[in-house]
Structure 1
Amino acid sequence: MEPLRGDETTVGETTVVARGCRLERAPVRAFLETDARPRFYWAAGTESIAARGSAATVTADGESRFADVRTAVEALFEGCSVPDDLPSAARPRLFGGFAFHNGDHDGASPWTGFPSAAFFLPEVQVTVRDEDAWLTTAATGPDAAAEAAALLDDWRDRLDTLSGRESPGPPGITRRERTPTQAGWRDQVGAALESVARGDLQKVVLAQSLRVALASDLSVPDVMERLSRTYPDCYRFMLSPEAGGTFFGATPERLVSVRGRTVRTEALAGSTGRGDTPAEDEWLAAELLDSEKDRHEQKLVADAIRDQLGPFATTVRIGDRTVRRLATVQHLRTSITAELGTDEHVLSLVEALHPTPAVGGLPPDAALRTIRETEAFDRGWYAAPIGWVDAAGNGTFAVGIRSAVATDREATLFAGAGIVEDSDPDREWDEVQLKYRPILDELE
């Protein structure tokens, strides 16, 4: 069907019918490799979801893109018929995300096919939670019930016949191109530090891009399977729009989860490497916890998130500062939980929180202006919200970091570092190289 834009009133007239059943087996990787777009993969904790094909899409751009998407999503679900016995985990969701910048995302290469905001209701969705698996199908239009039922019968049979194959491993890299160079990075960080010293900025996150040519075709579903083994505690995601490349990653940072009136998020900032021995690992973690620069950077993020949640919440609880250990890097982390005063849609919280100072800076407007003026590439969907929303307005969105956008023989990786008072350009350069590792290790 034609895409439904967030500013169109016809969305509410769309009839959507969903059907579902339990599965004995769920060959997720083989399912994702079937030829259909858009496709989406999401894994967090004990839940993973694979989706393909579009029963309905929602797109929006401009300053009101968050509100426009929310309005369209609510209208779409209002006209959705779902069997009463379908468990909550298997009920339809819309999957998608947003570009980092508001209003000036042009979708140029490598972001061809990625608009400022896009979500889709999949024709076919496979959900795995703990030991249970479900198949959900959806269709629209006057024959939606019959079409959804036919899709269910077809895919129940197809999933029984899909078989896995042995992964060929990483494709290998033949060429690398960095933007900026290390000399250019020093200049960019130096200029940002001057703004901090003048009081124009408290913090700004500057990013780099690494464009690599691949020796063979890249199977992103293979990458997702390997990332799930290496980064099981991260949010693993993959989105292939109707046309263009595939955006994928394994991010440690949750932007927000909403379930009922409970909101969960976190402040993640400050970084160091992993040690070669347990003793060195502990030493690096202790050094990170004692670092005045990193604690200051992380506190800025936690305080800003608390202030952003303030208008919505009756209480905001900030946990103790801890160290989050990943395969190649360690971060300072503080969990944040809030109770809402009234029912709020997850997309309202996404709008309020994006971008957090962990990927943007403070003050927000000055930081975003600095990023636009400094970075010589389009962030696209990098460091932006990506996730899902359901009919109740619940959902989870991660921050699209530790990520890349790829075509068959090329990938562009992104990583950034928070620049605050006392930041050292060369140390920040080294930190960015660590943040490339999750994706780079799966390509080399």
Structure 2
Amino acid sequence: MTLTVRTVRLDLDAAAKLLDLVPADRPVTWLRRGDGLVGWGVAAEVRTQGATRFADAAKWWSELIARTEVHDEVNEPGTGMVSFGSFAFGDDPGDSVLVLPQVVVGRRGDLAWLTTVGDVSVVPTPAEPPAAPVAVSFADGALNGEQWMSVVADAVARISRGDLEKVVLARDLVATATEPVDVRWPLARLTEQYPMCWTFNVDGMFGATPEMLVRRERGLVTSRVLAGTIRRTGDDERDLALAATLARSSKDLEEHEYAVRSVADALEPHCSSMNVPEAPFVLHLPNVMHLATDVAGVVHDATTVSSLQLAEALHPSAAVGGTPTAVATELITEIEGMARDRYAGPVGWMDASGDGEWGIALRSAAISGSTVRLFAGCGIVADSDPEAELAESQAKFVPVRDALTTG
């Protein structure tokens, strides 16, 4: 069966919020500073699992493109056929998904567009707004704070004896409401509170990530690496002093260097030239500050390697796994004590040319009916302190936690 995809220009008020157009019918979002992509409905989707989850999804997408007729009058990255994906962190357990929405609305600066699949007639207008979550309560997930600190201490001991250099350990928090939670409610809060982050939702995996795993646009590849974190106090003068402390912290600089090196090494085989800054900058977010580095390159194999394949090559980076990667991911499986599922896996979108943006599913949660499972992770190195790491994880829960409980 041949699919027909049409993209037309859209006259959209500059003040209109893309999220306001989205109904509750399987919404997808990828938003930053008011621009990006939103969609709803399902024209086609595939679920994949295990070590071949990326390759199986890429094959499905290629086959779908081959039997689709596209009429695109805009011809920009993100127009025409666009899929949204969310992938499991590890080979097992957890499923991954790549979906072609029935309707996509996109905006980039002054340009806006509408993409439809099949015989769908859509005039984007504000949808029925979501209701606020009702009576949300929070409880520890797989491990409580004390148990998780003991896991961190175990990891520090292994690092100290030379088993590995760094491991990222995560924990979860379970929110329960008395009625099903409409994901559009927390998404709206996240776009308002964290405009510098990429607010995403694919198949119930949602959040506001500060970390761009990889963007591919017309041959140029960029990746934003975050590693090394300090909690904000809310006092601007104190926070500036903390930012300076972070920028000089040997523990955090070491953790950051591992992450940058892992990204540069993974991208290098695909790039004819690369730019890797010598020193990181401090990224200021409302709840935390991070050491950040933007790695850029020119892809020499753009015709054969899509943004999704680049994401697979980069995943898991040291920022979410550790160093050496294989040893760190084995240790995560052994001691973390919970299933990550799609937490810290690639999440984003890709068009038919292979251009796209894939973030890391951080500051995130998985929603299922009236239950929302929040995630947070911390990079553990030789001089990590379990209590400090617990406090950092609590700071990283704040974006989604607040989005579920504030008006």
TM-score for both structures, normalised by structure 1: 0.85
- Letter aligned with residue 223 of structure 1: P
State the 1:19 CA deviation: 1.7
- Which amino acid in the other structure matches residue 297 of structure 1? E
Matched, 1:227 2:217: no
Corresponding residue number in structure 2 for 1:388:
349
Aligned to 1:309: 267
Per-residue displacement from partner, 1:141-170 (whole Å, max 9, x unpaired)? xxxxxx2xxx13xx22xx34x4554x6656
Change (3 A) 1:172 1:253: farther
Contact 1:385 1:397 survives alignment (8 Å): yes
Cα distance in 1 for partners of 2:64, 2:285 equals: 38
**Aligned CA distance change for structure 1 residues 172 and 288 (closer, same or farther; 3 Å):** farther
Deviation at 1:27, TM superposition (A): 6.5
Deviation at 1:247, TM superposition (A): 1.5
Match of 1:410 in 2: 371
Q: How does 1:156-167 map to 2 (within 5 A)?
A: 156=123, 159-160=124-125, 162=126, 165=129
Q: From the superposition, tell whether residues 15 and 312 of structure 1 become closer, same or farther in structure 2 (CA, over 3 Å).
A: same
Q: What's the counterpart of residue 32 of structure 1?
A: 22
Q: Distance in 2 between matches of 1:163 and 1:317?
A: 43
Partner of 1:256: 214
> Structure 1 counterpart of 2:212, which letter?
R
Find the counterpart in structure 2 of residue 338 from structure 1: 297
**Aligned partner of 1:64 among 43, 52, 59:** 52
2:92 pairs with 1:119: no
* C-alpha distance after superposition, 1:249-293 (max 9, x if no partner): 001001001123211002210111113322101111011111110
Give me the whole-angstrom Cα distance separating, in 2, the residues matched to 1:20 and 1:132: 13
Aligned residue for 2:114?
135
SS at match of 2:71: coil
Residue 84 of structure 2 aligns with which residue? 95
Question: Alignment partner of 1:63: what SS?
Answer: helix
Equivalent residues of 2:4, 2:69 under 8 A apart = yes
> Across the two proteins, how many residue pairs are aligned to each other?
398
Listed one character per residue, the Cα deviations across residues 284-326 of structure 1 (whole Å, up to 9, x for unaligned) are: 1011111110010001111111111122122221123110010
Within the candidate set 359, 365, 368, 2:326 is matched to: 365
Question: Which of structures 1 and 2 has the bigger CA Rg?
Answer: 1
In 2, the alpha carbon distance for the partners of 1:22 and 1:387 equals 23
1:294 aligns with 2:235: no
CA gap 1:63/1:389 in 2 versus in 1, 3 angstroms: same
Extract unaligned runs of 5+ from structure 1.
1-13, 108-114, 140-146, 241-245
Select the residue among 226, 234, 245 that pairs with 1:268: 226
Q: Is 1:433 matched with 2:394? A: yes
Deviation at 1:60, TM superposition (A): 2.5
2:184 is the alignment partner of 1:197: no
CA distance in structure 1 between the aligned counterparts of 2:286 and 2:17, rounded to whole angstroms: 26
Determine if the alignment matches structure 1 residue 19 to structure 2 residue 9.
no
Cα contact 1:27–1:163 (8 A) shared by 2: no
Kindly report the root-mean-square deviation, in angstroms, between the aligned alpha carbons of the 2 structures: 2.0
**Alignment identity in percent?**
34
> Is 1:354 the counterpart of 2:315 in the alignment?
yes
1:281 alignment partner, SS class = helix
Aligned partner of 1:200: which letter?
D
Q: Is the 8 A contact 2:8 2:72 kept in 1?
A: no
**Shift in CA distance, 23/359, structure 1 to aligned 2, threshold 3 Å:** same
Aligned to 2:234, what secondary structure does the other structure show?
Answer: coil
Match for 2:281 among 322, 332, 338? Answer: 322
Kindly indicate whether residue 236 of structure 2 is the aligned counterpart of residue 278 of structure 1: yes
For 2:56 and 2:141, locate their aligned partners in 1 and report how far apart those are by CA, in whole Å.
36
Asked if the contact 1:20–1:137 (Cα under 8 Å) also holds between the matched residues in 2, the reply is yes
Cα distance in 2 between the residues matched to 1:252 and 1:172: 29
Residues in 2 aligned to 1:310 and 1:30: alpha-carbon distance in whole angstroms: 40
Q: 1:170-196, CA deviations, whole angstroms, 9 ceiling, x for partnerless residues?
A: 645334224322221222112111211
1:211 to 162, 174, 181: 174
In structure 2, the residue corresponding to 1:397 is in which secondary structure?
A: strand
Counterpart AA for 2:287: T
Shift of 1:98: 0.8
Q: Cα distance 1:277–1:30, how it changes in 2: closer, same or farther (>3 A)?
A: closer
* Structure 1 contact 275–284 (Cα < 8 Å) conserved: no
Paired position in structure 1 for 2:43: 55
Q: CA deviation at 1:224?
A: 1.2
Q: Aligned AA for 1:371?
A: I
Whether contact under 8 Å (1:99, 1:384) holds in the other structure is yes
Q: What secondary structure does 1:233 align onto?
A: coil
> Could you tell me which residue of structure 1 aligns to residue 31 of structure 2?
43
The CA deviation at 1:205 is 0.4
1-structure distance, mates of 2:54, 2:265? 20
Q: 1:207 to 1:40 in 2, by over 3 A?
A: same
Q: Partner of 1:11 in structure 2?
A: none
Task: Determine the C-alpha separation between the residues in 2 that align with 1:205 and 1:305.
Answer: 16
Q: Secondary structure at the match of 1:127?
A: strand
The aligned residue for residue 424 of structure 1 is 385
State the distance in 2 between where 1:187 and 1:278 align: 34
By how many angstroms is 1:45 displaced?
A: 4.2
Contact 1:210/1:414, CA 8 A, preserved across alignment: yes
